[in-house]
Amino acid sequence: MNKLYLIVITNAINISISNVKSEFGLGSLAPGNEISLFKAQYNTKGICLGKYNDKILIVSQEKVFYFYNARISSFEKRICELFPNSEIAVLTLNSTVDLYGYAIMEKGVRKRIKSGADNDVYIDYGTKIKEEDDIAREKIFDDGEVAEMKLEYSKKIIQKMIAQEVSIRVTYRLLTRYFGNDEKEIERNFDAIKLVEYQ
């Protein structure tokens, strides 16, 4: 998976998609095709909505970026007000431009936000989460890769490259909170879960 533009809202079993559309001012959008959660990540127009167990899923290549700012956007504020007892996760990846982002809100409060691309960090807010600590303890590049990097880059650049890779892996790892314990299970669920396109 080289693209991810996903908002996950937990503890929302009693909330319908029609209510979500109404509350977010999307009532005028017409429903289109039903597509898999995997294919929804590549949808460049409109928004995709669906449910999975107790979770509401929103896929939008526009709206995920409303969460990666120092100032809270009106969309982030609204979504936190609507789901005050939920964990809200925003997960973003685009390997073409080496972009990553993750934002975690709990009970309406920002807990962790980090986003960056191409070894630059755009925002780094809050306390590190377990996934970050776990991956930071792992071996990010093997000895051969590190040796090659040392021939081309300064120590500072290598540290940035390692930090970038850690953050990308954290974004992937966060999927295990919501969609399965390992990569294969997550892939199966991304193929099986269906969302509806709205334009």
Q: What is the pTM of this model?
A: 0.94
pLDDT confidence of 15, banded at 50, 70, 90? confident
The average pLDDT across 138-167 equals: 92
Q: Which helix (H) or strand (E) holds 90?
A: strand 87-94
List, for residues 36-62, the tens digit of each pLDDT value: 999 999 988 889 999 999 999 999 999
Residue type, 112: R
What one-character-per-residue DSSP string does 12-58 give? -TT--HHHHHHHTT-TTPPEEEEEEHHHHTT--SSEEEEEETTEEEE
pLDDT beyond 80 at 166: yes
Q: Which of 25, 175, 168, 182 minimizes the C-alpha distance to 100?
A: 168
Q: How many domains does the chain have?
A: 1
Give the span between the Cα atoms of 68 and 93, in whole angstroms. 13
Are 198 and 57 in contact by the 8 Å Cβ rule? The answer is: no
Give the pLDDT score at 154.
92
The answer, yes or no, to whether residue 116 has pLDDT greater than 80, is: yes
**Residues in CB range of 158: below 8 A, 6 or more apart:** 146, 149, 150
Expressed as residue numbers, the domain containing 187 is 3-198
Angle at 153 (CA atoms; ends 147, 155), nearest 5 degrees: 85
Percentage of residues in the chain with pLDDT exceeding 90? 80
